[in-house]
Structure 1
């Protein structure tokens, strides 16, 4: 939203009131003039004006001046005094545009779009160019803020010919950011009937379809040769220029920094084996992968000493460390001497230096994935069951934030600790005791026995579950017993042991859960090679092998993902993308326990 406002302000400065003194035509009406008076003076003149039209023009000028002075409350109050239906078309467009701009400052994109739906906007193309630019700018910002990305891009393409200088450059970059954010299925055919828009979407498709930096460069150059006169061919968007710079700096040496001793040694071994398996596969495929030098973080005495040693060895990228205290130390530094992909996350809100990227199997990613999936399935009201303790608190917080930010309601949450309390906790969630109480009250009122089955509350669409397989084995039957067996359950990967235990899976029948591609899609050739050598990788430990493989895939593409945040790496631990804080986020496929088996579900739409 802040980015929208900044861009809108930049574009509006180029299109404000410089040419508004002229009247488009007698039928359209005169536009407000650039004021050389204060707001108070304009309002005073309006109050003594001889004609309603002159008074309205003066009030519009005063409202606009207040908006440009960032006194938005006063601007809105003045604008309310202007009767829109009494104005001529040009004045109506002007007033509607200002109303939309004010709505955007209040983070109300729908109100902005409503203001821009006034019938007078049908004559926008008859207005002076600066007013057209101003109106299209705010409409584009409102569409983007409302999630209508394709429509926002189309609006900015229509806006482009009206702009010059810095405003034109800002709009050019905004078009690329919008089309790059569109999923592939929306890009296909999105530019039909508009050659310029079609060029933008075909460029985005070309970049998304290519995998490596080298392939992306080739795709961009091919596109430029086929669209030589297109605005994006004349001036490549800045992220694509950055890609070109990255391609000229190939990665030749990586330091893999993992503990070989201590409590994390077994985790580190799985990560290292996955990482090196991907490295050897690249060699076998005839590629020229970077050299990998392994360092033992459990023997580390100083991060400064390590980086000096790595620099002396010609290392260009560090993968690791795994230990959270070390990652927090790195995140606290103003800068790092070598770009680093940490295999864990620092504390929330601790973003770190520009050279630090962070990747891990974060439970928060899975909580957000549950939110996305339930939303896509039409769910709106949730209850949550999470473990007691810090881990459960983090997962619940991530789910709640994403769920409520996207319009969902979390009705209640319970922290599961003792199995003996589980039945009572579920009964409380579904208000079963109130139902039983009503039945007993009815019995005492009418006398004798009354046949009344307890009923649960009916305003719960689904349950968000974060639990171990053992906990889930107790929870699902308890839900059935407590008359809530028909409520859908969406769970994180913690419920899946990958053990093949049919009895365990039967106890969790109907639970939907997100999981890594590694454990759901056994046909991957690299996975098969790893499992053949390390059979334990077929079980829950496989998630760590997958993370190691994906760390290797991410290593040469960190700059690419930073330059193109909407690009993804389709990995074995999930579909990977980079957020603005340079943390890798995962989106996961889905499965369901059904008849003692694990049934793969269609992926969540993006």
Structure 2
């Protein structure tokens, strides 16, 4: 009797457990499993299925199999044949996730986010772990591609406890990449959850100056957050930082021209570089030794590198000459890590080559960024004729159009006598005058009519010399376009100190180096006291020299920490994947001949 009772109790318990286990399945629906059949066989079975529900599930399995096999087109085609209304909630969530994955193969993050907004995904937490992971992963990818970096990081942090092995490692590194790419002002670690911990780690690393200070900040953070996932397994870039901190820089070669046409440029760069070196000494740091080499008398780069290696050089800063930089960029590798002070034409180069300069292309992209931030969409362009103007035009156009802006007119400036005609053509004033004349002829009498300009130009992107800009702005005023905002590169500003020079440029906005906009910077004060020319347009080169010195020990840091920046005197410095240092610049405008600083562009 007791045995029978035990058997009955066991059977009841088993039935209860079975009911509990099957209840989510019964309410959410059976999900596709990895079938033994081929895609064609699954579709054939679907065509022969007696139940519409069964047919829909078979087609969903076939669509998923096609996606997993890398045939996104076939997968999308099959998925279109699956009626969502015939699926149960779990199957709908599965189909929506697959739809989002297919949208991402087409680089359509907004379509992916729309697919993931299906009501069935509100019950995702009730569904299987694999489906939760799959939906969470594609959601994170779509958010990142849509520019919602913080939301993408939140999604990856949510799925992290569900992952194992390689998938867990990849997700861990992806979280750090996302958090590290956030601007410092967005790193607000409120609370004690994992997200706050990631943010406080990124903030600690970004606000530390030297590699040694960064390493100390990481160690302090780990001691305060011993159970955080990033403390248990340090992200790979931070592990690399630790390795870099154990290899201090002790000797730098400064390779610049001392004779020839570039001698004055080389001198300004060298003086700025050494000013930063002496400032570091005065601050009690132990800066590396500097060895000088003359690039204007080089017989070969190979010979230079042999000499530098024999001298114990660990890093080369230079050369400045574009042909030498181009030559280095074509080599498979370099004997010593090198920070060239110019840019090659291609994006590729050896792993040991970094490139830094005062590229006009950086400023063109800065104008694009600023105009977008100011809510503008339609641009007209004025650049000088020639190769330089073409490069600036290309850089602006690519960035502007890639971010949704449109270009409604372009003029290449050359002869001053043509300016009035070019601006009239840009604003279609001649057509307006012709219409007025036609009206007069039709009426047979004089008609008072002021020419009207086209209204679809929201601003003008201007890259020009100070002399050209001083002619262009008054001509715009004369041609009834004085109210159109002008956004310019730094080339419109000569920094001559002559107020009268800029009286006709009222309202023109331009980006410029912090060096020329902040006369109170302590290092700038020291330099201009010794070399007064550094307060003028040559100051940009002194600033570049200072920044080359500050970049030298932090090249690997910029490469290792994606989207981290150094606030320099030539701009806010970041690095591209091709190891080119790029600048973002502050802004000013001309007001009654004076320079008025504007708020910085939001990052």
Q: Which TM-score band (shorter chain)?
A: over 0.9
Partners of 2:415 and 2:394 in 1: CA distance: 21
Maintained 8 Å contact 1:39/1:66: yes
1:302 aligns with 2:315: no
Q: Which residue of 2 aligns with 1:370?
A: 367
For the pair 1:97 / 2:89, whether they are aligned, the reply is: no
Pair 1:425-2:422 in alignment? yes
The verdict on how the C-alpha distance between 1:249 and 1:436 changes in structure 2, with shifts beyond 3 A counting, is same
Structure 2 unaligned blocks of 5 or more: 1-20
1:383 to 2:390 alignment:
no
RMSD: 1.2
Q: Which of 236, 242, 260 is the equivalent residue of 2:258? A: 260
Q: How far is 1:561 from its partner? A: 0.7
Deviations 1:539-567 (CA, angstroms, capped at 9, x unpaired): 00000000001000001111111111322
For the pair 1:411 / 2:396, whether they are aligned, the reply is: no
* Aligned counterpart, 1:113: 113
Aligned partner of 1:326 in structure 2 is 324
Which stretch shifts more, 495-504 or 325-334? 495-504
Within a 5 Å distance, the mapping from 1:515-554 to structure 2 comes to: 515-554=512-551
Runs of 4+ residues deviating >6 angstroms = none
* Residues 112-150 of structure 1 deviation map (CA, whole Å, 9 limit, x = unaligned): 000000011100001100000000000000000000000
Consecutive unaligned residues of structure 1, counting only runs of 5 or more, are 1-20
Shift in Å, 1:501: 1.6
1: distance between equivalents of 2:525 and 2:188? 35
8 Å contact kept, 1:24–1:128: no
Give the TM-score taking structure 1 as reference length.
0.95
Q: Is the CA contact (8 Å cut-off) linking 1:515 and 1:588 kept in structure 2?
A: yes
Of structures 1 and 2, the larger Rg is shown by 2
Q: Which of 354, 366, 372 is the equivalent residue of 2:351?
A: 354
The residue aligned with 1:219 is: 217
In 1, distance between residues paired with 2:85 and 2:409? 48
> What is the aligned partner in structure 2 of residue 39 from structure 1?
39
Map 1:88-237; keep pairs closer than 5 Å. 88-189=88-189, 192=191, 195-237=193-235
Q: Distance in 2 between matches of 1:88 and 1:147?
A: 32
Given that 2:56 and 2:86 are in contact with CA atoms closer than 8 Å, whether structure 1 keeps it comes out as: no
1:106 deviates by 0.5
Alignment partner of 1:112: what SS?
helix
- What's the CA shift for 1:505? 1.1
Q: Distance in 2 between matches of 1:273 and 1:187?
A: 37
Structure 2 length normalisation: TM-score? 0.95
Partner of 1:8: none
Superposed CA offset, 1:184-203 (max 9, x none): 221114x54x6111111111
CA contact (8 A) 2:188 2:196 kept: no
Structure 1, residues 322-364: CA drift from partner, whole Å, max 9, x if none?
Answer: 0000001100100000000000000133x21000000000000
Shift of 1:25: 2.0
Deviation at 1:239, TM superposition (A): 0.4
Aligned to 2:57, what secondary structure does the other structure show? helix
Q: Structure 2: how far apart are the matches of 1:598 and 1:38?
A: 71
Shift of 1:287: 1.1
Question: How far apart, in 2, do the equivalents of 1:49 and 1:208 lie?
Answer: 60
2:437 is aligned with 1:440: yes
Deviation at 1:22, TM superposition (A): 8.7
CA displacement, residues 24-61 of structure 1 (integer Å, 9 cap, x when unaligned) = 42111111121211211111111111111111111111
Q: For residues 274 and 506 of structure 2, what CA distance do their matches in structure 1 show?
A: 37
CA drift of 1:154 comes to 0.2
Aligned residue in 2 for 1:16: none
